[in-house]
Amino acid sequence: MKRTLSILGIIFGVIVLDLFTKGYLLFLITGSWFPVGNAWELVPNPYLMAYVTNFFNIVFTWNFGTAFSMFNALGEYLPIILIFATGGIIGGILYYLFCRCANYERVPLALIAGGAIGNLIDRIRFGAVVDFLDFHIGGWHYPAFNFADICIVCGVGLYLISWIYARRRCMKNVK
């Protein structure tokens, strides 16, 4: 029971922090935490909010596609396809997380699930994901991302590291 509550706490914490950061940016631009209508019509894309350093800006941009804005030009049905695909993937991750996973997989999968749910909520609300962290070198900009994306990437990295560690430990026990 403690494990389930801690996993739910991680997932819920990621979702809350992700939605708060995105909501705060929307509030700064539109004056409302919950803009009515098509929010992407209210906010220009991209919208420079703050110059932070020579390599980092805070921007406001809509990602209608998938990771790195791939599939952006697939048309009006893309948001619906992505909502169902993401929902299915999240369902699979949650099933595995609560029914089948090993101890070392719990935190990484919770980070991945929380980040995916945070982005799914944006897709359902707006038809796009809010991205705002912009790293760049000179004129080259890495695609903008958000807190949920950070949690997903960290979760995948932790999952791979813990999986490699568990495999090595298992191989030592076999010899």
Query: According to the model, what pLDDT value does residue 72 have?
Result: 61
Catalytic residue among 18, 122, 131, 134: 131
Query: Is residue 67's pLDDT more than 80?
Result: no
Query: Is residue 42's pLDDT more than 60?
Result: yes
What is the pLDDT confidence band of residue 110, given thresholds at 50, 70 and 90?
very high
Is 131 an active-site residue? yes
Q: What is the pLDDT of residues 86-109, one digit of tens each?
A: 999 999 999 999 998 888 899 999
Nearest-angstrom CA–CA distance, 90 and 45: 28
Catalytic residue among 18, 122, 134, 149: 149
Mean pLDDT of 45-66: 80
Is 18 an active-site residue? no
Query: According to the model, what pLDDT value does residue 159 have?
Result: 95
Q: Where are the domains of the chain?
A: 2-174
